[in-house]
């Protein structure tokens, strides 16, 4: 059974086409997808981030460019596990030159990958398949990247709807379907 040493930090990447990033730099997507093997044959299991998110929360997980700790580009507004994977919502800090560059590239669709930086706390290897099941991870950072290790980990949307519009849609839906 092959398990990474607890002190080794790893990075995993994810993609999906960007449908937009708002003018303030807010975007969201999936940084990890449960049950899908990445290009390195790692599979993140549901609940793998639970303890780390309780301990750290979104505020203590860094938003970086290409996993470079010298290039923070914003902050995570929310990070949560759902049935599909690790759903993230972040804001690029447009006062930072690199973040402005990335914002332009994301809006153009040239950059849309997401990748996680973590330390393995518990994993199990599957000899017949060669897969490593990642059961508990200590999440340190999530990066915007050019080439994600997990092809499905990508920025999906850039928030553009005003809060008043969302409220109006909800109230209309309640009236129509109640």
Q: Is the pLDDT of residue 105 over 60?
A: yes
Q: Is the pLDDT of residue 120 over 60?
A: yes
For 48, 145, 154, the CA distances from 105, given in Å and listed in that order, are 31, 11, 14
Q: How confident is the model at residue 173 (pLDDT cuts 50, 70, 90)?
A: low
pLDDT the model gives residue 23: 81
Q: Please, what is the average pLDDT of the chain?
A: 85
Q: Is the pLDDT of residue 154 over 70?
A: yes
pLDDT the model gives residue 162: 43
Q: Is the pLDDT of residue 125 over 70?
A: yes
How many CB atoms lie under 10 A from the CB of residue 154? 23
pLDDT tens-digit map of 28-87: 999 999 999 999 999 999 999 999 999 999 999 999 999 999 999 999 999 999 999 999
Q: Where are the alpha helices (DSSP H) in the chain?
A: 50-56, 97-108, 163-177
> Could you give the residue numbers annotated as active site?
67, 115, 141
Q: How many H helices and E strands in the chain?
A: 3, 9
Whole-model pTM? 0.77
* 14/74: higher pLDDT: 74
Instruction: Give the separation between CA 117 and CA 108, rounded to whole angstroms.
Output: 25
Q: Is the pLDDT of residue 22 over 80?
A: no
Give which of 38, 33, 10, 1 is closest to 124, Cα–Cα: 1
């Amino acid at each position: 059974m092959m398990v990474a040493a607890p002190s080794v930090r790893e990075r995993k990447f994810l993609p999906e086409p960007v449908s937009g990033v708002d003018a303030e730099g807010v975007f969201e997507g999936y940084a990890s997808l449960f049950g899908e093997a990445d290009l390195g044959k790692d599979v993140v299991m549901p609940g793998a981030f639970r303890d780390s998110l309780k301990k750290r929360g979104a505020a203590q997980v860094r938003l970086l460019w290409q996993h470079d700790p010298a290039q923070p580009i914003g902050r995570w507004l929310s990070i949560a596990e759902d049935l599909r994977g690790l759903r993230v919502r972040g804001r690029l800090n447009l006062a930072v030159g690199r973040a402005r560059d990335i914002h332009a590239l994301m809006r153009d669709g040239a950059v849309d990958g997401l990748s996680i930086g973590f330390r393995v706390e518990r994993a199990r290897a599957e000899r017949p398949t060669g897969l490593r099941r990642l059961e508990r991870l200590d999440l340190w950072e999530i990066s915007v990247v050019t080439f994600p290790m997990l092809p499905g980990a990508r920025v999906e949307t850039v928030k553009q709807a005003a809060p008043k519009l969302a409220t109006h849609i909800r109230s209309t839906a309640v009236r129509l379907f109640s």
